[in-house]
Amino acid sequence: MAFTSATEVKPGCLGVGLGLMVVAVLGWMFGYPQYRVYSQRLAGEAALAEAQSSRQVAILEARAKKESAISLAEAEVIRAAGAAKANTILQDSLGGPEGYLRYLQIQALEDTKAQLIYVPTEAGLPVTESRRLQGPEGR
């Protein structure tokens, strides 16, 4: 068996090395564009899937808002019906609409912190206190 020196290259090895290099360059020249097309197709499919997912989320959120609005409207109708029934019961127990209005007026007077209150008379006009406002010299 003969040993070769480091500077000596066998002609067969050089051809194999160049052949592998040519195959690698040609493979890269033809394979890289195909890889780019494949990569872009995958990126497009991912973007499409994300858009469809976002659309479905938006639709579900809209449905939830619609159902919530319907439930709130139903609750408001039930509350209004209860308030109307309670008002009718109060009105009937106080002798009709006039008695109920007088009751509401008394409730409002109890809650007020005013120092001067004008109470309407039978004609619906308040009794004014023009003398009180004139002071002691007007008497």
pLDDT tens digits for range 92-113: 888 888 888 888 888 888 877 7
Tell the residue number behind the tokens 């309407």, with chain if given: 120
> Shortest CA distance to 118 belongs to which of 108, 103, 110, 128?
128
Which of 23-32, 48-57, 90-99 is predicted most confidently? 48-57
Work out the average pLDDT over 119-135. 61
DSSP letter string, 67-95: HHHHHHHHHHHHHHHHHHHHHHHHHHHTT
Q: Reduce the DSSP state of residue 57 to 3 states and report it.
A: helix
Work out the average pLDDT over 73-99. 92
- The answer to whether 71 and 65 have CB atoms below 8 angstroms apart is no
